[in-house]
Amino acid sequence: MIKLTARQEQILNLIKDAIENTGFPPTRAEIANELGFRSANAAEEHLQALARKGAIEISPGTSRGIRLLEMGIERTGGRQMTLPHVALMQLRLPLIGRVAAGSPVLALEHVEANYNVDPALFSARPDYLLKVRGMSMRDAGILDGDLIAVKKSDVARNGQIVVARLGDDVTVKRYRKTDAFIELMPENTDFKTIRIDPDREDFALEGLAVGLLRAWG
């Protein structure tokens, strides 16, 4: 049983909440801001302590490279219960490549391959994988060629990373809605926020990003 300090447990719960609400872990800066630390370095020290205790895994080189490592345990009535072996829980997901203008994302002609994946990797059960094109979400740790796990949905909460259709393009961005408009926000200062009229006919939400796979090679 992992023994955590009160602060470490607070940070672990913050990470869980971020993954549940947005599909992705928080950045060091977001942790520091939420907990009132003076710098992101203080958050990094606590994350490293959590990693040493086996509560999380840290992937170097990305601002959101944090993965929970306790997802194989389900707590029920104060008891710990081991889930079935991951080999028995594999999901088979279609990988969607370039999407033709005006056609459904899950149309058969867009499926490049099918992958068996461990559902414990994701914050919610995904329906498909989408290949990312471009670097507009770089600072969220989402790079060109990565595979986003997507749960089909036509609604989203502010702050969630979404897959959206805009005209002839399908894009991955952070979602924000106000009374007047919808914003699709990049996480790379080289790109601009896209502002949309909610009644625009060629705009639609296709789904929520619930996880990320790095396509090595």
Q: How far is CA 176 from CA 47, 87, 124, 154, 193, in A?
A: 28, 37, 20, 14, 10
Distance CA 128, CA 148 (A): 8
CA gyration radius for the chain? Answer: 18
Question: Which residues carry out catalysis?
Answer: 136, 173
At 121 the three-state DSSP class reads helix
Whole-angstrom CA distances from 76 to 1, 4, 96, 212 are 15, 20, 37, 28
Q: With beta carbons less than 8 A apart as the criterion, state whether 42 and 33 touch.
A: no
Find out whether 171 and 142 touch, Cβ atoms under 8 Å: no
- E strands, 33-82, in order: 56-58, 66-68, 73-76, 79-82
What is the total residue count of the chain? 217
